[in-house]
Amino acid sequence: MIVLDTNVIAELMRPQPEPAVLAWADGLVPAEVGITAMNEAEILHGLIRLPEGRRKQALLDSWQALVTALLGDRVWAFHREAAHWYGELLVRREQLGRPIATADAVIAATALAQGAQLATRNVSDFTDLGLDLINPWTHRRSPTH
């Protein structure tokens, strides 16, 4: 399974996404792709705060198309196992002296609880967490630790 981070989702919603990201996404099997509830919240926050108009409507349409074509109902909730991972990740980062944003910790914890890889452009935000990271902009996987 692969969790798409918010920056990957946002890129795929653009009128002209980065060709490398599109090429990577074309190879995905929809049944093996999902997002976390935190990713959906971040996307919805960005959409809701836009002023009414054509751009907002185009992005809302793009979001719905992405959900229909790729995500379906694969939006993973933050549950007890993810909560355990969350605590582990915060302690790990505290010990390293590298704090992690709450949203990133929730996304990482949910991905770990699902046994999923995380596709993100912000690889450095998720290093040292034990995740298998994929950067769709470079098509390379980063080390897990």
Q: Where are the domains of the chain?
A: 2-142
pLDDT value of residue 71: 86
Q: What CATH fold (topology level) applies to the domain 2-142?
A: Rossmann fold (3.40.50)
- The identity of residue 95, as a single letter, is Q
- Alpha-carbon distance of 49 to 72, in angstroms, equals 24
Phi, psi torsion values for 9, nearest 5 degrees: -60, -50
Task: With H, G, I as helix, E, B as strand and everything else as coil, classify residue 35.
Answer: strand
pLDDT bracket for residue 145 (50, 70, 90): very low
Looking up tokens 């918010």 gives 6
Look-up of token digits 């298998």: 132
DSSP-derived letter for residue 53 is S
Nearest-angstrom CA–CA distance, 128 and 88: 12
Q: Which residues pair with 142 in a beta bridge?
A: 133
- Both tokens of residue 34? 């999902």
Predicted TM-score of the model (pTM): 0.89
Supply the DSSP string of 2-17, one letter for each residue: EEEPHHHHHHHHSSS-
How do residues 9-67 score in pLDDT, each as one tens digit? 999 999 899 999 999 999 999 999 999 999 999 999 999 999 999 999 999 999 999 88
State yes or no: 61 annotated in a binding site: no
Mean pLDDT on 113-139: 95
Cβ atoms 126, 13 nearer than 8 A: no
Distances (CA, A) of 13 to 27, 55, 135: 17, 12, 17
26 is in an annotated binding site: no
